[in-house]
Amino acid sequence: MKNFGVGAIAGWVTTVAVVLMLAESSSAFAPHSVKHRTVGKTAPSPPLASPTSIASAPADSDFEKPIPVRDEGASGAAADENRYNVDLETAADLWTVSVSADNRLDRAAGVPFLDSKSKDHFVDDVSVVVSRNGGMGIELLELAGGRDDDYGLTIVSGVSGNAEKAGVIAGDSIAGVEVNKVGGSGTNVEESSEAFDCECRNFDATIGLLGSFPPDIESLTLKIKRIRRWPKVKVVVAYPPSQCADGVDNEETVELFAGENLKRALQTRGIVFEDRDAAKCDFCGGKCTVSIDTGMQLMSPKGLTEEKLMKNNPKCRLSCKTVVGYNMQEGNVRLRINLNEWNTSDKGGFSNPFASK
């Protein structure tokens, strides 16, 4: 990754702020996408909404960065993600701009994107609908700018009124704007949606876009980038006492990010799966089976195959198929590994369904 964030773009830090009110001007900004839909009757204007989180695109590597995993329909508990929000000062310190050298599913090579300087934080996507009636109530702060190409870094430094009601918070960065329009009459009503990109733009470009829409546009859908703290799970890993030297504690404590694959996360933190008597199971050889003593609620639900395999061992999980901190939860877990290496007196009610003994 190449950075041209606050520390790398020369010219810079400008502390300009303004409360964005209704503005009338001709639209000089071209949308990057337009959608049309013909309906039988006029659709109502979009209501005010709370922030709607969208799962972030896959990271370059699970070894580098976990993936936010959310399942709104899951029966398990889901954490309130707003508890992981950071304050304005922290967000301003963490924001940076990065450029990917290679094409990715979610972005093209060479296109600047908002990023976090810290691996302990991530950039989340939030969508809110903000009414323009009486002003939006957004105060903007330019952290970086002064370039001829309008690239920069602008964040929200204060909110009130409609923006506050919609869920915008200080520290957010507006990455895009969508507008919905309804045209035609009678049975020939056409809905259209136009999307405008303003990610990694300076103050003038951002404020120019927000003020470019005609007064008859009652609300704007803001595509927001928000820095959040990664929720973490503390995991106590217990090795079989037989695999530990005399006088050596058989437990090791590691910290995992919510959203990580359990097996890969443990391995990258030095945990060794060495279950010599495990029979083959799927691609991992069955060596990754773990027994969850506490914290099962923090794990992703079992798939159908795993449910069948673990029918008689409800405490056991295939760590290669398990996500820890599912639904962005944090907490504590205690588990045991290398299950065939435990002595009968140490097992405490579990057995490895893939044992070859």
**Per residue in 157-166, pLDDT tens?**
999 999 999 9
Tell me the H-state helices in the chain. 88-94, 161-166, 203-210, 262-268, 304-309
pLDDT digits (tens, 9 = 90+) for 297-311: 999 999 998 898 888
Domain check: are 198 and 222 in the same one? Answer: yes
Between 44 and 221, the higher pLDDT residue: 221
Residues 324 and 256 occupy one common structural domain: yes
pLDDT higher for 347 or 211?
A: 211
183 and 267 in a common domain: no
Q: Does one domain contain both 225 and 241?
A: no
Q: Choose the final residue of a domain: 211, 229, 247.
A: 229
Whether 209 and 322 share a structural domain: no
Residue 90 has pLDDT above 50, yes or no: yes
**Do 313 and 208 lie in a common domain?**
no
192/248 same-domain check:
no
In a domain, 21, yes or no: no
> Which pLDDT score is estimated for 275?
79
Structural domain harbouring 272: 232-336
Distant-in-sequence, close-in-space partners of 283: CB < 8 Å, separation ≥ 6: 320
Q: Give the CATH number of the domain where residue 238 resides.
A: 3.10.20.30
* Buried-state track 241-251, b at ≥16 Cβ within 10 A, e below 16: eeeeeeeeeee
Q: Does 125 share its domain with 251?
A: no
Contacts within 8 Å (CB) and 24+ apart, 178-182: 178/220, 178/221, 178/223, 179/213, 179/217, 179/220, 179/221, 180/45, 180/46, 180/221, 181/217, 182/42, 182/43
C-alpha–C-alpha distance, residues 163 and 150, integer Å: 25
Do both 108 and 224 map to the same domain? Answer: yes
- Domain boundary pick from 179, 196, 229: 229
The pLDDT > 70 percentage for the chain reads: 72
What is the model's pLDDT at position 25? 38
CB atoms within 10 A of CB 261: 22
> What was the pLDDT predicted at 32?
62
Question: In the predicted model, what is the mean pLDDT of the chain?
Answer: 80
State whether 289 and 212 are in the same domain: no
Tokens of 187: 């049975």
DSSP 291: E
pTM, to two decimals: 0.72
Q: Are strands 219-229 and 121-131 parallel, antiparallel or unpaired?
A: antiparallel
User: How many separate domains does the chain show?
Assistant: 2
Question: Residues 129, 190: one domain?
Answer: yes
pLDDT tens, residue by residue, 231-251: 999 999 999 988 888 888 899
Asked whether residue 97 is assigned to any structural domain, the reply reads yes
Confidence grade of residue 41 (pLDDT, cut at 50, 70, 90): very low
Among 191, 214, 229, which residue terminates a domain? Answer: 229
- pLDDT, average across residues 93-114: 90
- CATH number of the domain at 164, please: 2.30.42.10
Kindly state whether residue 28 falls inside one of the protein's structural domains. Answer: no
Instruction: Look at residue 143 and tell me whether its pLDDT is greater than 60.
Output: yes
pLDDT number for residue 15 = 37
Residue 74 lies in a domain: no
Mean pLDDT of 33-61: 38
Please indicate, yes or no, if residue 306 is contained in any of the structural domains: yes
201-211 pLDDT, tens digit per residue, is 999 999 999 99
Residue 356 has pLDDT above 90, yes or no: no
Largest CA distance in the chain: 84
